[in-house]
Amino acid sequence: MAKYIDPKCRLCRREGEKLYLKGARCFTPKCPIEKRGGQIPGQHGKKRTRGRISGYGIQLREKQKAKRLYGVLEGQFHRYYELAIKSKDNTAEMLVQLLESRLDNICYRLGFTLSRSLARQLVTHGNVLVDGKKVDVPSFQTKPGMIISLPAHAAKFDFVAPNLIEKNAPAKWLSRVGTQGKIDRLPGRDEVGTDMKTNLIIEFYSR
């Protein structure tokens, strides 16, 4: 199973904004965006281009930001796009729903973890139940009505227990009681809480 294994903070610096990939660290002064002001990584980072970015460049950066935000690689992200354009529903809305319906994202949105990478770890290690059955595939597509829960031992993990105690509120389209959550419905584009310009992503792949 392919995944990005290099420093996650480099991704935020490359996009010039917080993508909240490191959980609690992103809310502290240790965050590189706070310390370096979004300086691009690499030896030429200080020489950020001041010229006008082309339309293609703007679309590319938006696509890259969305990929990094949800922790998916190019091939999988492109497949989500292909599924979205084949759908009879609004393409942009469908793309968002496909990304948000991933099991690792659902665990993050339910408040079990503070980042999608930790939620992915929770899933891949077999610590998440879907309708009472163990599922260890982060990209598993969930549907409205499904029950997502954690077994008793998983609720005691260091990166899970504090979140349950603090009772972090889940997304509006989800509900949760203790270690059990439910997908009430699929989210709209304005409910995901991320500044993702899906129209630019669709334009990028439509070129």
- Domain spans, the chain: 9-40+53-98+195-205, 102-185
Q: Name the percent of the chain lying above pLDDT 90.
A: 51
- The CA-to-CA distance between both ends of the chain, in Å, stands at 29
Predicted pLDDT at 68: 86
Predicted pLDDT at 33: 56
Chain length of the chain: 207
Distance separating alpha carbons of residues 145 and 113, to the nearest angstrom: 21
Q: Name the percent of the chain lying above pLDDT 70.
A: 74
**pLDDT tens track for 147-163:** 999 999 999 999 999 98
**pLDDT tens track for 160-192:** 999 888 667 899 999 999 999 999 999 988 888
Helices in the chain by DSSP H: which ranges? 9-15, 32-36, 55-70, 74-86, 91-100, 103-109, 116-124, 161-166, 198-205
3-state helix, strand, coil in the chain (%, to 5): 45, 10, 45
The residue type found at 125 is H
Domain 102-185 homologous superfamily, CATH: RNA-binding S4 domain (3.10.290.10)
Provide the CATH topology of domain 9-40+53-98+195-205: Ribosomal Protein S4 Delta 41; Chain A, domain 1 (1.10.1050)
What mean pLDDT is reported for the chain?
83
